[in-house]
Structure 1
Amino acid sequence: MLRGEIVAGEFEFLAVLRHYEDLIDAPSRGYVFSPSHAWHCIDWIETQFQHIKGKLARTPLKLDAWQLFSTAVRMGWRRRSSGLRRFRTSYEEVARKNGKSTWKAGEADYLFLMDREIGAEVYTIATTREQAMSVFKPALENYKRRAKRSPRFSRSVKIYDGTNQERIAAGGGVFKPLPANAESLDGLNPSAIVVDELHAHRTREVWDVMESALGAREQPLIGAITTAGYILDGICTEIRSYLVQILRGDIVDDTFFGVIFTLDDGDDPFDPAVWRKANPSLGSAKTHEYMVAQATKAATLPSAKANYLTKDLNIWVNGAMSWFDIRIWDLGGVPFDPRELRGRTCFGGLDLSSTRDLTSFALVFPPDDLDSGEWFVLVWIFCPQAKVDEQSHSDAAPYAKWKDAGWLTVTEGNVLDYAAVRKTIKAACSVFDVQEVAFDVWNATHLANELMEDDVPMVQVPQNFSGLTPGSKLLERLVYSNRFRHNANPVYRWCASNVSLLLDTNENIRPNKKTSEGRIDPIVATCMAMTRALVHQPDPTPEIIVI
């Protein structure tokens, strides 16, 4: 790598360079590298651990070069005075599907059984216990396998495998997964900690609690293994920034190890030649075909691109991003006559804003052919006259023009008259076959109750990830496949150009009112309607093959 024979990003190169420079300079600072300690851990992992799933299941784990380097450096460097480990903290950042879970499970197992720590306590920690299990599970399955093969091993450890009770006990110590709840973590006496997916932690509270708990141990180790994420002001980016300063030589911290696998500034994320920088196991744990498929999808859908950049190329992305390319949105503006939709099955969404802002009601009409047919939408947008006057003075948006053209329904006064909204929805239900109207209980309960008195079928849909993700993903797919017909409504177009997308670490998406550059109410109403439309779509008929 240092000779340029392996494609590497800046921070991987600097991590390797740091190690080689330390081989020369670190002895003068009291540190020496012990190959025997490094290989002892590596040999343990590769002889004691097997893959637990996929095509490699039940075959021995063989570490890739980058894993060998990381394990060797963290386990091999020693304090000359005591022979204890040099590094107390580590931070490793790599794209997903590079084989980190089983590898980290093997390291944690070594630190539990082979670290010569009396009463060792090793914990895998994540924001949820389920995520913490992703590292612990490979260890648990390997312990069960080894216990079956060796009566002696079975007698030396106690394996607990009940749901939410999973843990391993041996020699007065414990190895177990834990959710990141700072209060529940108080009182622990850890010897080693693996923090999985640190990018999902919003505050440094849990990290601080665990770091301070390590003080009673002679050679403790707290290590984070993570991909990039969307929280740009959290503990993960703080620790990452600290590591970058170490790698670039701005500060010296001989107890902190780290490496970051990511693209460099100016790299084209769609160029296969740079993918290895973020994916050091490309070609082994992660296939080139997988990357091609992800890149192809990311080139089309904004939400897929954000996920591709963060998870597959390990690039930090703002959790709020512009959603629609307005040029693609405009392709759906082919005029149609709303009367053609009379009697067609449809689903509604109601986004009731404050009395001074836009309120929107949307109806979406699914096609008979769900695989390739076109979806139609009708939107009614309301605001008070005071809002029109305010916008006209500020030139922020041509509300008066939209009102005169019939695209915006305006009620007299300073606040919106919800009676006009109620009347419009009732009228729409008399013309179209409205199956449901989605509303958010937080701000529309009173009007929803009135509409239910009018026999309008109202259904609660919260404006959070659970309520909006299904409809948001469907709307995105339809827009970018040119299957969404919106009749070139200019108010709707303006809102589409304003909307920014909020993403989370579980690949959920929704419109973000807080970061959008203007009103987005009709888009939110559409996503709510889309969510309910999906609920009522028939499951695909299974194909019956006669042999």
Structure 2
Amino acid sequence: MTSSAFPSWIHDKSEIADPFGYGERAVRFLRLLKHPKSSAPGRAFTLDPWQERIVRRIYGPRHPNGDRIVKTVVLLLPRGNRKSSLAAALALLHTIGPERVPGGEAIFAAGDRTQAGIGFREAANIVREDRRLTAATTIYDAHNSAKKIVLERDGTFLEIVSSDGKRQHGRTPGFVLADEIHIWQGGELYEALTTGLEKTDNGLLVIATTAGKGQENIAWRVIEDARKVARGEVDDASILPILFEADRDADWQDEALWHRVNPGLAHGYPSLDGMRRHAKRAERSPTERDSFRQLKLNIWLDNSTSPFVDMAVYDRGQAPIDLEALRGAPCWLGVDMSTTTDLTAVVAAFHDPDDPDGFLVLPHFFCPGDQLRARGERDGVPYPLWAEQGFLIPTPGEAIDYRAVEAKIRELAEIYDVREMNFDIAYSQPVTAPLLDDGFPVATMRQGWVTQSPALNVLERAIVAGKFRHGGHPVLKWCFGNVAIHTDSAGNRTMHKGKSTDRIDGAVATWMAVARAAANDTPTSIYSSAERSGDLTDLAFF
């Protein structure tokens, strides 16, 4: 089963408008090129029917004044379908071909120079195959130097850029290939190049990528917007969505699905035998299965390669929460403290008033306020936007202000009947000490498998059963999407980060809070005065 945004027009032989003949002109130019790996006579550049339809759809439809209607192409294509060759050919249309303008800039952009160099080498090798093009151009391709192809007659050039978005502001490109944006860190490079394109009337952005992981990144936002255009939910003729992707719950072993999602298979690429070998490995390995689904079927995955829960299941709990209905309700807090880089999370867990077997949570997040945008760029998430929307509390300085965390906990205790305040012991003393002095029900929870494994079982059952409500809080969702699970030989589980830069603090605070709420479903507190010692780790929590 393919996505509802599948580009059926690629194969349906429907007419593609070409009032000025520019689509035909583009196809003719590409067919005159040569490719060093081509098996066609004279090494002619191969433009298979599905690729030709794409070219005609980009360059054919025009406004009455001749301007191209399509300004952004979103090409989501599984690995091995020769998107680099197609993208290189399109770039040459704007560098040495009929779409060029004197002095025009064409750019290959990627998350790093190695990735950006792939498309550039494709373009350079195409040029080198034709002596006429070699004579008309200069190729700068020395090691550790700027990579550029210049058409000397017009001063038009193709150049690669990567990583440092700040240095790309001020550019005015006419063509940009944004390659594999699912691995781009942050959105500054994307912003610099897209705003540069918008300085002129007829720029073209081609986003060519395979599926990625997680939803708090620029790639997901771009692809999701293209899906809305493809489904007709958004009317924007300037965006051309070409989304070859399977549904999340599709049968990944169905070879008919492989052919539908990989348009090159009908022409011998990628290798069908290679896909079958990959699928065999996927039968035995969850990691290989995730790799096959992401790279060969373009199924967008959660952040982690060994996720705690399917995020589509997690999303079932995103209905709004009635805060007024919770006033005075019994509440259990989980607190995961941090210093400078991680988030601090305070999560309040309640028994769901609409479902006695369910739980709902109210998360609160803190981070250092200094260089908030830079921190967001580092983590690949919109910290400034989250702060503006009230989902994240930035505190002054380079480190978490513990007084702000303490104040929030005291505020929660005034609104709700807080039965327990459970802290990860790391960095907690500056907050727990004054709370204990004032008689609040403070406790610490060990983070090892003895405590965590049974807690994760409680939380997982609630999420899978649709009995966990979180109100769609975006920071909490990001944290859960980052969670990877370590399982030891005895089957005990603990949470850890999928990558060193991932934040899971909200998920950690959540299992702490929900586990304590689950263990205390009576209206009376478990505390006696003797138990308020600041360490409840030896109690029989589960």
Q: 1:57 to 1:136 in 2, by over 3 A?
A: farther
Structure 2 counterpart of 1:161, which letter? Answer: D
Q: Percent identity?
A: 19
Specify the alignment match of 2:32 in structure 1.
47
| 1:77-116 aligned within 5 A | 77-80=61-64, 82-114=65-97, 115-116=99-100
1:221-242 per-residue CA deviation (whole Å, 9 max, x = no partner) reads: 0110000011312111112121
Structure 1 counterpart of 2:208, which letter? Answer: I
1:91-112 per-residue CA deviation (whole Å, 9 max, x = no partner) reads: 1101000011111101100111
Specify the alignment match of 1:469 in structure 2.
none
- Provide structure 2 residue ranges, at least 5 long, that are not aligned to the other structure: 310-422, 427-442, 457-483, 513-542
Specify the alignment match of 2:60 in structure 1.
76
Q: Of 6, 19, 22, which aligns to 1:12?
A: 6
Bigger radius of gyration among the two: 1
Cα distance between partner residues in 1 of 2:18 and 2:100: 19
Q: Of 263, 269, 293, which aligns to 1:309?
A: 293
Structure 1 counterpart of 2:244, which letter? Answer: F
Contact kept? 1:320, 1:512, Cα under 8 Å: no
Residue 134 of structure 1: CA displacement? 1.0
Specify the alignment match of 1:296 in structure 2.
280
Residue 323 of structure 1: CA displacement? 6.7
Does residue 276 of structure 1 match 2:269?
Answer: no
Specify the alignment match of 1:162 in structure 2.
142
Cα distance between partner residues in 2 of 1:395 and 1:499: 9
The two structures have a TM-score, normalised by structure 2, of: 0.57
Q: 1:73 to 1:355 in 2, by over 3 A?
A: closer
Contact kept? 2:172, 2:197, Cα under 8 Å: yes
Specify the alignment match of 2:494 in structure 1.
498
How large is the RMSD of aligned CA atoms in angstroms? Answer: 4.0
Cα distance between partner residues in 1 of 2:2 and 2:447: 58
Residue 83 of structure 1: CA displacement? 1.2
Contact kept? 2:10, 2:54, Cα under 8 Å: no
Structure 1 counterpart of 2:189, which letter? Answer: V
Cα distance between partner residues in 2 of 1:121 and 1:394: 55
1:119-156 per-residue CA deviation (whole Å, 9 max, x = no partner) reads: 1110000000110111111111222232xx33xx4442
Structure 2 counterpart of 1:12, which letter? Answer: F
The two structures have a TM-score, normalised by structure 1, of: 0.56
Does residue 37 of structure 1 match 2:37?
Answer: no
Cα distance between partner residues in 2 of 1:290 and 1:276: 13
Residue 286 of structure 1: CA displacement? 0.7
Cα distance between partner residues in 1 of 2:453 and 2:502: 28
Cα distance between partner residues in 2 of 1:511 and 1:271: 36
Specify the alignment match of 1:231 in structure 2.
214
Structure 1 counterpart of 2:137, which letter? Answer: V
Residue 498 of structure 1: CA displacement? 3.2
Q: 1:394 to 1:12 in 2, by over 3 A?
A: closer
1:29-51 per-residue CA deviation (whole Å, 9 max, x = no partner) reads: xxx53483212212222321314
SS state of the match for residue 109, structure 1?
Answer: helix
Cα distance between partner residues in 1 of 2:41 and 2:504: 42
Structure 1 counterpart of 2:498, which letter? Answer: L
Q: 1:261 to 1:387 in 2, by over 3 A?
A: closer
Specify the alignment match of 2:360 in structure 1.
none
Contact kept? 1:95, 1:312, Cα under 8 Å: yes
Residue 310 of structure 1: CA displacement? 0.9
Structure 2 counterpart of 1:168, which letter? Answer: I
Cα distance between partner residues in 2 of 1:388 and 1:253: 53
| 1:60-209 aligned within 5 A | 60-80=44-64, 82-114=65-97, 115-146=99-130, 149-150=131-132, 153-163=133-143, 164-170=145-151, 171-209=154-192
SS state of the match for residue 193, structure 1?
Answer: strand
Residue 15 of structure 1: CA displacement? 5.1
Q: 1:515 to 1:281 in 2, by over 3 A?
A: farther
How many residues are paired up?
350
Q: 1:296 to 1:323 in 2, by over 3 A?
A: farther
Contact kept? 2:186, 2:218, Cα under 8 Å: yes
1:53-72 per-residue CA deviation (whole Å, 9 max, x = no partner) reads: 8x889832312222111111
